Amino acid sequence: MKNILVTGGCGFIGRHVTEELLEHGFNVRILDAMIDQVHGDAEVEVPDAAEVVRGDIRDKAVVERALEAVDGVIHLAAEVGVGQSMYEIARYVGGNDLGTAVLLEAMIDRPVRRIVVASSMSVYGEGRYRSKTGDQIGLIRRRADNIRTGQWNLVGPDGEALIPVATDEEKPVDLASIYALTKYAQEKQVLIFGEAYGVDAVALRLFNVFGAGQALSNPYTGVLANFASRLANNQPPMIFEDGQQRRDFVHVRDVARAFRLAVEKPNLNGHTINIGSGQSYTIAEVAALLAAAMGVPEIGPEIMGKARAGDIRNCFADISKARELLGFEPQQRLETSLGPFAQWVRAAGAIDRGGEMRRHLEERGLVS
């Protein structure tokens, strides 16, 4: 495969994927709608060697044109964000699920050999847990009445504390938000299509992606970008709950390499694969690390003591399968990557819309 279509290729992850592919000898065409929330008024810089087709993934004629002479697809185009998905439901279902359906229909009569779709760690809901005696816990959710009283951590049936552990791909999905629902639908559509039409189909479940190029003025783009926008405007990062929830942060360059490997490697058909760093951090810890990197360690986070609908407590990646099937090994650690990220934030500038996001959620009763 040498001719690759990257949907959403002008976005944060898409630009890095495009650069990675070009550096390794692929020809790249991009399909992107260039929506304002992601790109704003800024001129998007993509490599001159990439061809850009501007259009909506739901426009079949545009998609058919973008697929001409393509033998591989990396499908990144999607509406992103848990919080916003809970009140702009039609937008998320339309962009993510209908958009994927249009793409797959257009592929039926075209000789595409492989499609790699960007899925999300959000499909897991809560990550893996074990008891203090070492027993693995099955599907488990927090109770709404416990959350309302500030009992953030999960407990077993007898009230015993549970221990979060790395989440592997065998953990059953548990969809806790509209965003998670749409990402799982994207993933399953692609895998079902691949089996039916003899197209290699692979889903990469991405954990929290960070790095230069994030949409800093989009409050739904990711926790590190949100924190950076607040700190750049001398405002404290807003942290829901108590800040002790744990996540996995993976650098966008590592993610781009994972997509390139998923195009190149054999014997991947039908697989879903976690792409993370294999490390976990508390959200409060991340806020402190970023404040120090940005030179404002005195700006501590605002711990809100409230939960956001659709959020989970802990989820971080077991990347054993990515190592085995892709030969993937993260090269960027959060601790050593925040300095360059902070430099980019200062140079790029950021409009802080965190308060706007909070207001939208609170007005709809999605924060409690």
Residue 43 pLDDT grade (very low, low, confident, very high; cuts 50, 70, 90):
low
- Taking the C-alpha atoms of residue 203 and residue 247, their distance in angstroms, rounded to an integer, is 20
Per-residue model confidence (pLDDT) at position 148: 85
- Give the contacts of 109 (CB within 8 A, at least 6 positions apart): none
Tokens, residue 35: 């929506």
Domains and CATH numbers, the chain: 3-363 (3.40.50.720)
- Taking the C-alpha atoms of residue 86 and residue 69, their distance in angstroms, rounded to an integer, is 38
Asked whether 121 and 248 are in contact (CB, 8 A), the reply is yes
| HEC letters along the chain | CCEEEEECCCCHHHHHHHHHHHHCCCEEEEEECCCHHHHCCCCCCCCCCCEEEECCCCCHHHHHHHCCCCCEEEECCCCCCHHHHCCCHHHHHHHHHHHHHHHHHHHCCCCCCEEEEEEEHHHHCCCEEECCCCCEECCCCCCHHHHHCCCCCCECCCCCECEEECECCCCCCCCCCHHHHHHHHHHHHHHHHHHHHCCEEEEEEECEEECCCCCCCCCCCCHHHHHHHHHHCCCCCEECCCCCCEECEEEHHHHHHHHHHHHHCCCCCCCEEEECCCCCEEHHHHHHHHHHHCCCCCCCCEECCCCECCCCCEECECCHHHHHHHCCCCCCCHHHHHHHHHHHHHHHCCCCCHHHHHHHHHHCCCEC
Per-residue model confidence (pLDDT) at position 194: 98
Comparing 114-128, 276-290, 297-311, 322-336, the range with the smallest average pLDDT is 297-311
- Residue 42 clears pLDDT 60, i.e. is over it: no
Residue 348 pLDDT grade (very low, low, confident, very high; cuts 50, 70, 90):
confident
Asked whether 22 and 6 are in contact (CB, 8 A), the reply is no
Is residue 175 packed enough to be buried (19+ CB in 10 Å), middle (13-18) or exposed (0-12)? middle
Residue 41 pLDDT grade (very low, low, confident, very high; cuts 50, 70, 90):
very low
The single residue of 129, 179, 220, 281 carrying the catalytic annotation is: 179
Q: What is the pLDDT of residues 160-214, one digit of tens each?
A: 899 999 999 999 999 989 999 999 999 999 999 999 999 999 999 999 999 988 8
Q: pLDDT exceeding 90 applies to what percent of the chain?
A: 74
Comparing 25-34, 114-123, 252-261, 309-318, the range with the smallest average pLDDT is 309-318
Q: Nearest CA to 73 among 197, 199, 207?
A: 199
List the beta bridge partners of residue 116: 74, 202
From residue 244, alpha-carbon distances to 152, 205, 282, 313 in Å are 9, 23, 5, 8
Is residue 335 packed enough to be buried (19+ CB in 10 Å), middle (13-18) or exposed (0-12)? exposed
Comparing 35-39, 226-230, 267-271, the range with the smallest average pLDDT is 35-39
Per-residue model confidence (pLDDT) at position 338: 94
Tell me the average pLDDT across 299-324: 93
Instruction: Please confirm, yes or no, whether 179 is among the known catalytic residues.
Output: yes
Asked whether 15 and 23 are in contact (CB, 8 A), the reply is no
- Taking the C-alpha atoms of residue 66 and residue 105, their distance in angstroms, rounded to an integer, is 13
Phi/psi of residue 263, nearest 5 degrees = -80, -35
From residue 172, alpha-carbon distances to 127, 136, 175, 312 in Å are 9, 13, 10, 15
Per-residue model confidence (pLDDT) at position 219: 67
Question: Pairing mode, if any, of strands 128-130 and 163-165?
Answer: antiparallel
Q: pLDDT exceeding 70 applies to what percent of the chain?
A: 96
Question: What's the whole-number average pLDDT of the chain?
Answer: 92
Tracing tokens 């990646």 back to the chain, one arrives at 317
